[in-house]
Structure 1
Amino acid sequence: MSEPFFSTTRPLFGQVAVVTGASRGIGRSIAIALARAGAHVVVNYRQSKDAADAVVDTCRAVGSRAIAVQADVTVPEDVTNLMVMATSLGVPRILINNAGISKASLLLETSLEDWNALVKSNLTASFLCAKAVLPYMLRAEYGRIINISSIWGIAGGSYEVAYSASKGGLIAFTKALAKEVGRNGVTVNCVAPGAIETDMLQTLTSDERSALAQETPVGRLGTPEDVAHTVLFLASPSASFMTGQVISPNGGLVI
């Protein structure tokens, strides 16, 4: 097995990382954190080209080779092209399945269209991306697949049955795939963030966000960087004995 170069200051030096939904929020912070750790980064986006290009510029500013690739990761052909484009930087060794959507509604008010859209974006997309990148990782006998779920995938969220089901399915997907590819040098883990200050919380009023922060034992909402730090550890060679795990940076909101 060919182990990647490792240093304490840039532990991902020269590795190619694909981050889906990386133009903003958690994905943006993850892409930049990986770049700072020495990885070459593929910044995937669906619509926000200017924002994705700005992330690429930030990654390059810290010494990373980085490219922005437009792809709808729910479309198989787009996913295949995404991985082919990634090889322009080298062999993809890290995949962060971050792209996803949310929608809050009572189950009785959830349409089949909404259900299918959540499952497609939050679960099927990760299946397609993992399936497309695994051949590269298996040949290299090394890989890190990290799926971004949610605390509601662990505990279930009221008014978010469809969202919780899609994120819970991603957790089960993580555990099963970890058992399948562990002997090939590929680890598969899941990060399940709590209440994070991103666009997904903008539907809440400032009073509601403040109440949520007070409900969180550490007394604040999380930041995208809090999630990125967790992802960075799981992506590193130091996490070689971590697989099939769900790590939840949530400030104690769900224990």
Structure 2
Amino acid sequence: MLRDSSGFATLDAKIHSAITNVLEGDFARQMDTFKEREGHEGRYVRGRQILWRLDGYLATNALHGSVYDMEDLLNVVMVNDNLVQFIRNWDTVLSGIKKTPSDDVLESLFHRQVNKNKALAHDVAIYERAIDGSPEKTFEFLYKAANRHINAKRLEKNRDRMAKQAAAGMPSAPAPLKRVPKGFCIDFVRKGSCSKDNCPYKHEKPEKPRGRAQVECKFFKQGRCNKGYADP
């Protein structure tokens, strides 16, 4: 009996949590009623019970052709030019229809939604210029064009991600060497010490220049300034 969780307590809990979080519509209402009835009898509804009832619910609806119907397909529309979401919804509904509509019907419905999509403008233009009966004037042509675009964008995104990951793993370029003023020991300035005996250069840190660098006074060049150098 599914009411008995012996040996399946963890599985029952996981199934119950997963299904309950996504239930909606008519089946959700049926489950609420079932839980109330079981609760009055002092019984707790197990996850496997819900799963078994869900399987029966979908099977019954499928037999009656009511998982999805043409009304659902008519309600699949392009929102905010989101081609990926539109194709996902289209495929979901179409796969749940008991009897697939003819290609002419699919072509008309599909074209109505993608004809203003910016990403498919080129393909739609080819479709609209094509002669009736040609391969370009079909539902298959439009559908494949939409999926080509989605796959190309997905590939581009994957390449960008891989490029960023590769760039992040590359060693950064070494910092440019600090210029040492004339007369100062290079090792002492850069490393803080010098191992050379009798090094003739200064073993101290040079002072950093303050303010803006001084330039030669243009008036001095003309012989009209006695300062020689002045702040710019």
Q: TM-score range by the shorter chain?
A: under 0.3
User: Which has the bigger relative contact order, CA under 8 A and spacing at least 6?
Assistant: 1
- Bigger Rg, structure 1 or 2: 2
Bigger strand fraction: 1
Bigger helix fraction: 2
The TM-score normalised by the length of structure 2 is 0.19
The TM-score normalised by the length of structure 1 is 0.18
